[in-house]
Amino acid sequence: MASRFARNSLFSTLAGLATALGSFLSMVVVARLLGPSGTGMIAYALWLVTLSITFADLGIFQTLTRYLPELTAEGDDSAARNLASALLRPYLALAVLGGALFAWLGSQAAGPTPDSPGRIWWLIGLLFTLQFVASFGLGLLRGMQRFDTAAKLTVLSFLMQLAAVAAGCLLDGVEGALIGYCAGSLLPLGAILAALPRRPAVDPALRRRVLRFALFSWAGALTLAMVWSRLEIFFLQRYFGAETVALFTVGFTFANLASQGPLLLTGGLLAYFSESYGQRRTDQIRNAYASATRLMAFLLLPACFGLAAILPALLPLVYGPAYAAAVPTACVLVAGAAIGATGSVGSQMIYAHDRSDFIFASGLVGAALTILAGFLVVPHFGLMGAAVARTAIHAVMLGLGAWFITRRFGYPMPMRELCRLLVAALLCAGAASLCIHLVRDPRAAVVLAVASGAVVYLAAVRALGALPESDIARLQSLLGRIPGLVRGPMTGLLTLLAPRRA
């Protein structure tokens, strides 16, 4: 099971990187070709689609990735496919209903923003329907442990989306860009046709478990959407307009890029925790939780703090001088992304223990804080207020999750190692920032900053003994499927990270 977990994590990371790169590069293309005003309209439309998918999902995607691995681990593939087939029917009905709602909004005079035409609603509805159904296909593949197929579809979709968005921007502006985003959701649609039975029969006891889990997952997702899905965009659009939304989105894309690579290493964790929970291997779960949290921090902290340090030179190079005003906000968002993403391991374990009710309860707290910040902080402090409030709320959510896991399951966070990794990441960011301020050429400064930051971080991790040998061995196991030309140097580099006392 450990080898399958490493394999699933590797393919999940590949898919996650493709998704993050697709989102980032597509937004760069939009920003370059449409300017701040058009970029703000696209960002607002994409946010509406993401939020609508969360509202319509009913916890079905999370249910697929939670229960299908448990059923297949018990050797009952037919029960897993029956459950997937039973969930597909309401999912398709919700997709049609949501598309019809957006079509009705399109028949009205006004668009989603004051300066957009009403037909933008039709394109948002089409994008919602395609992405919604495609997410079921990817969830089915992940639940059935076919992470390799999901990764291939995601990479191909990323390439299609990037080309289609660029062509759409050139041919038809904002509307063409939305059509390009629709093209990126076509390939995963075929996954839902994967030999599902026509008359699914689900065990009543399993049905009750699934229903409870799905409803709490959905309720939790609704509340967490207020915290994680950029609700700040709604308030920024309301009080400051599309160009301010564009500046916030630019910073958020960098935060997403910095966190998604390490974050998506957790793609196989829910399946792994679910299998272990079904087999009652609590010691295995405890060790995996501590190790995964350390490894997540090891990758996330230097990525986020280091990127925040080089943004004053990097952001104008990527998006253009018109977006230079986004630099301070982007630095806060990127550095703060490490806080929320570090808690992703704990969230997967809570879901695996069928405690989606806690996700809902903690999400209510975060949602209330986010809405209060939107009305009290954003109107007075604008972009920076939105970024600081988001970071602070994520810190509160991380604290609640760590407290619950420690008190309810007896799995403490490895705080000593996390503090050491934080010190190493701050040293990395300091070295990178020094290069940015001392070297005048921004391109040379970025290259030198990345190199010096990496050297300082690796040396600090070794000197501080921040990563135990067991975690280094797990990282090396993840390299087993990459080409030998890369695996050899990476294995040697990981060996150098072992604490000096070892």
- Which pLDDT score, from 0 to 100, does residue 179 have? 93
d(CA 355, CA 212): 10
Query: Which domain range does residue 207 map to?
Result: 2-467
Query: Structurally, how many domains does the chain consist of?
Result: 1
Q: What is the pTM of this model?
A: 0.70
- Which pLDDT score, from 0 to 100, does residue 195 have? 44
Q: Note whether residue 502 is domain-resident.
A: no
Q: Note whether residue 69 is domain-resident.
A: yes
CA distances from 435 to 18, 310, 327, 432 (A): 30, 9, 17, 5
Residue 268 confidence class, pLDDT cut points 50, 70, 90: very low
User: pLDDT tens across 362-396, in order?
Assistant: 878 888 888 899 899 999 998 899 999 999 988 88
User: Which one is predicted more confidently, 303 or 74?
Assistant: 303
User: pLDDT tens across 277-302, in order?
Assistant: 445 566 667 777 787 788 788 888 99
Q: Note whether residue 479 is domain-resident.
A: no
User: pLDDT tens across 239-254, in order?
Assistant: 888 888 888 888 888 8
d(CA 389, CA 343): 18
Task: Flag the least confident range among 49-63, 209-223, 326-340, 403-417.
Answer: 209-223
CA distances from 373 to 229, 247, 290, 379, 396 (A): 15, 19, 33, 9, 14
Alpha-carbon 254 to chain mean position: 12
Q: What percent of the chain has pLDDT over 70?
A: 78
d(CA 460, CA 458): 5
Q: Fill in the amino acid letter for 409.
A: F
Residue 341 has pLDDT above 90, yes or no: no
Task: Flag the least confident range among 30-44, 131-145, 419-433.
Answer: 131-145
The DSSP code for 468 is -
Q: Fill in the amino acid letter for 353.
A: H
What integer is the mean pLDDT of 161-183?
Answer: 92
Q: Note whether residue 222 is domain-resident.
A: yes
Q: Note whether residue 112 is domain-resident.
A: yes
Q: Fill in the amino acid letter for 423.
A: V
Task: Flag the least confident range among 327-331, 348-352, 414-418, 497-501.
Answer: 497-501
Q: Note whether residue 483 is domain-resident.
A: no
User: pLDDT tens across 54-85, in order?
Assistant: 888 888 887 887 777 777 766 667 777 788 88
Q: Note whether residue 66 is domain-resident.
A: yes
Mean pLDDT of the chain: 80
Q: Note whether residue 489 is domain-resident.
A: no
Which SS3 state, helix, strand or coil, does residue 117 take? Answer: strand
